[in-house]
Amino acid sequence: MKRLNILTNKWRNITLVIFSFITILGCQKDNLVQFRTDLALNARIIRLPDSATSTKIQVYSDNNWKVAVKPGDDWVTLDRTEGSGKSYITATVTSNKDNPARATEIYITAKGLTDTVFLQQKGIAQHLKFADRTLNATAPAGDIKTGLSTNIDFDKIEQKIKYTSPGQENWISNLTYDGTNLTFKVTQNSSNDDARTATIKLLYIDMLGATITDSILVTQNPKAAYDNAVLKDFNYVKNALGSGTITEDIYIEGIVLADKGNPNLALNPNKGTPAHTVDHTENAITVYVQSLDGTSGLKIRTKTPGDNLFSKNEKVKLWLKGATLSKTTNPNTATISDFPSNNIIDKVASSTPLIPREKYMRDLTDNDMYTYITLKDVEISVPFGTYYNTNYGYYARVDCYPTNIRDINGDSMYLLTNDEKAADGLTSLIRNGVPVPQGSGKISGVIVSENYPRYGGNIGKYSIRPLDRSEIVLNKNRDDGFSKVLVEWSTFSTTDPSASTIGTGRLEHSAIPENTSTGITKTTNYLGLTGLGNGTNAQKGMVGDAWQFATSWWNTAHNRGEAWIIKFSTKNISKQLSMQIEGNSDTGGPRNFIAEWSTSRDMDSGNWNYITEYTMEDVVNWNNTLITQVPGFKVVNFNLPIALLNQDVVYIRLRVKNKMAGSSTGGDSEANFTSNKASRLGHVSVKYNK
């Protein structure tokens, strides 16, 4: 028992020692966390989103303190101007969604000490990008310009010029920016043999500390050997010269029709496999030059985008030796390719305004190709949506949208609009929230002829490319136009899908009984006034109504195609009628159509009268977007025969001509045809002149 007590006392003493040691350590730990300071903060840099929001700043101090925002930065407000001890400051910022990133400083002062919080707020992405990687300047002294896209204040951008040719410095000066182009001066390159080079670098550090920079290599060529060149007119180039490399020592004089950088100059091809990328080089190298009297035109394709130094309404002298001439027939055109900038003998701003010649469509001739023309008394055939009625989810894959226009004489052609957003960020002619005008007026631009595979290739002998939105001068309202709608389908009726929107008529299908609409369903149009991206239908511009039939497009028993049937009356109408339709088909659906008319609906009675033929292209497919697929509806306009005027009832059928159809991999074949694939109509109208 005594031994047990001794052991018990021993362990009691050991426990007491351990407890005392722990107590001592605990007291020391309490002393360690007794944080004392005159001034400290929990953060030095705070970055906030672009929305209106608040943040808290922790202040540590044993004293009274004061807080203030950098003077002038009233987008930040503080919930207090002073405090004491450990406490929070709440800083509130306004929205910055439509502005560049910004930053300010918040100063906290205590007991003679000042500490700073750097408060940053995100904003729109800032960019700085030259249109070209290289620029080839001419030998004479003068102003040179190149496309530059930036949303940064140019005065805040650092400019650096690095000269790389030995002994050649300070020949570039006076960099300015007009919102579209960077312009600078070059001194004359007096060398007869050597080019000289320099790199222009632009640099900006934004409010978040990110570096934004781009550069361009400038080469100034020596003077070319054009002193003995002989002046020739445009007719000589078009008719006397042979195709191929030009060997004659000749030059021409003319007027440039558009600035370099204008995104609506040429059709840009797709590239890659699959062809999901648009190559904008063609637009960058295209220049239209018309004769001094404006009656003849040439298309110039510069050697590289950096060789395109031209501005609108410049009077130019161009040495043609060494360039390549190519020609086309129907229409007769001449194009000069591989044109280098050192073949520019002279270019000066013209003192005479650039005035287009006015014509009706029917009066256009091949001599008008690549000249500046105003088309008189025109209107948009289907005046809804914008100048770019497409599924804009495909903007990076599709370059151009043809808008059908018609004139008071019944002729029609296409107004071509390139996708400016994909080209350089401009949206002056596409979805800018403004609908197309519905009245008539004038449209000016360059007359061109282009093959457009997404519309079946041949889109007519002539088309027009406006160079600016201001060149489309049409009355806003339909009442202020030359045409009157007899009957129209532009809004889908869920109670009666065949009912017309304006006038009295029926839109039916030949495979279903008359006065019924079984199988005709509603689908989406592409009439959004905004929507420049992917995502929802609205974001892609897929807005509005369209008609769809996907039940039967081939009658096997009668070995013929089925048809859309359009029924209306022409009673008491004595003026020329025209029809406007827009549509597309699913891959494998009907492609080729014949328009015919009759006073009887019977598909096999044999009294149908030919009007015209047209194609409706396959709608785009995301997995493999072919260059023969259309990202919206194709618009077709055609005149109706005089014989169907003043009829109590008229039937126009849009009949499938044959089983030729497309496939998901390309190539037309009757084997691709599927009778229950969809064909769509986004609009149908019949009009006559007032």
Domain boundary among 98, 121, 144: 121
Give the separation between CA 589 and CA 572, rounded to whole angstroms.
38
Give the separation between CA 220 and CA 189, rounded to whole angstroms.
7
- What's the whole-number mean pLDDT along residues 64-82? 95
Residue 15 pLDDT grade (very low, low, confident, very high; cuts 50, 70, 90)? very low
More confident residue, 193 or 32: 193
Domain boundary among 349, 370, 402: 349
**Could you check whether the bond before residue 590 is cis, i.e. omega within 30 degrees of 0?**
no
User: Would 514 be classed as within a structural domain?
Assistant: yes
C-alpha closest to that of 500 among 517, 512, 523? 517
More confident residue, 175 or 32: 175
Residue 531 pLDDT grade (very low, low, confident, very high; cuts 50, 70, 90)? confident
Residue 667 pLDDT grade (very low, low, confident, very high; cuts 50, 70, 90)? confident
C-alpha angle 43/48/50, rounded to 5°? 165
pLDDT for residue 16 is more than 80: no
Q: What is the pLDDT of residue 327?
A: 98
* Cβ atoms of residues 123 and 327 within 8 Å: no
Does 362 lie in the same domain as 336? no
231, two tokens: 């002046």
What are the tens digits of pLDDT across the range 187-229? 999 888 899 999 999 999 999 999 999 999 999 999 999 999 9
pTM of the model: 0.87
Q: How much of the chain, in percent, has pLDDT values that exceed 70?
A: 93
Total number of domains in the chain:
5
Distances (CA, A) of 55 to 8, 90, 91, 109, 664: 61, 6, 5, 19, 54
Does 199 lie in the same domain as 298? no
Does 671 lie in the same domain as 599? yes
User: Would 560 be classed as within a structural domain?
Assistant: yes
Phi, psi of 14 (to 5 degrees): -65, -45
CA atoms within 13 A on the CB side of 347: 27
Question: What CATH number did the domain enclosing 439 receive?
Answer: 2.40.50.140
Q: What is the DSSP string of 93-157?
A: E---TTSB-EEEEEEEEETTEEEEEEEEE--BPP-EEES-SEEEE-SSSEEEEEEEEE-S-GGGS
One-letter amino acid at 478 equals R
343, two tokens: 């073949």
Question: What CATH number did the domain enclosing 268 receive?
Answer: 2.40.50
Does 495 lie in the same domain as 470? no
Does 176 lie in the same domain as 90? no
Does 330 lie in the same domain as 195? no
DSSP code for 619: B
pLDDT for residue 17 is more than 90: no
User: Would 4 be classed as within a structural domain?
Assistant: no
pLDDT for residue 580 is more than 60: yes
User: Would 24 be classed as within a structural domain?
Assistant: no
Cα of 8 vs its chain's centroid, Å = 92
Q: What is the pLDDT of residue 18?
A: 39
Does 551 lie in the same domain as 665? yes
* Cβ atoms of residues 279 and 294 within 8 Å: no
Domain boundary among 307, 329, 349: 349
* Cβ atoms of residues 678 and 549 within 8 Å: yes
Residue 251, strand partner residues: 231, 319
Does 568 lie in the same domain as 680? yes
What are the tens digits of pLDDT across the range 372-400? 999 999 999 999 999 999 999 998 999 99
SS3 557: coil
SS3 500: coil
SS3 569: coil
Q: What is the pLDDT of residue 429?
A: 66
Residue 445, strand partner residues: 373
- Residue 30's Cβ-count burial label (10 Å; 0-12, 13-18, 19+) is exposed
In sequence order, which residues have a C-beta less than 8 Å from that of residue 153 and are 6 or more positions away? none
Between 213-217, 536-540, 577-581, 611-615, the lowest mean confidence (pLDDT) is in 536-540
What are the tens digits of pLDDT across the range 98-114? 999 999 999 999 988 99
C-alpha closest to that of 41 among 70, 72, 67? 67
pLDDT for residue 504 is more than 70: yes
Residue 78, strand partner residues: 91
- What's the whole-number mean pLDDT along residues 466-493? 96
DSSP code for 616: -
Q: What is the pLDDT of residue 4?
A: 36
Q: What is the pLDDT of residue 561?
A: 98
Does 293 lie in the same domain as 167? no
Does 204 lie in the same domain as 185? yes
Distances (CA, A) of 319 to 325, 393, 505: 13, 44, 61
- Domain residues for 424? 358-479
Question: What CATH number did the domain enclosing 562 receive?
Answer: 2.60.120.260
Q: What is the pLDDT of residue 419?
A: 85
* Cβ atoms of residues 469 and 429 within 8 Å: yes
C-alpha closest to that of 175 among 221, 129, 143, 137? 143
584, two tokens: 């597309």
DSSP code for 27: H
C-alpha closest to that of 503 among 564, 579, 441, 562? 579
Question: What CATH number did the domain enclosing 93 receive?
Answer: 2.60.40.10
Q: What is the pLDDT of residue 190?
A: 87
Does 507 lie in the same domain as 642? yes
What are the tens digits of pLDDT across the range 601-616? 999 987 999 999 999 9
Does 494 lie in the same domain as 424? no
What are the tens digits of pLDDT across the range 264-292? 999 999 999 999 999 999 999 999 999 99
- What's the whole-number mean pLDDT along residues 478-488? 97
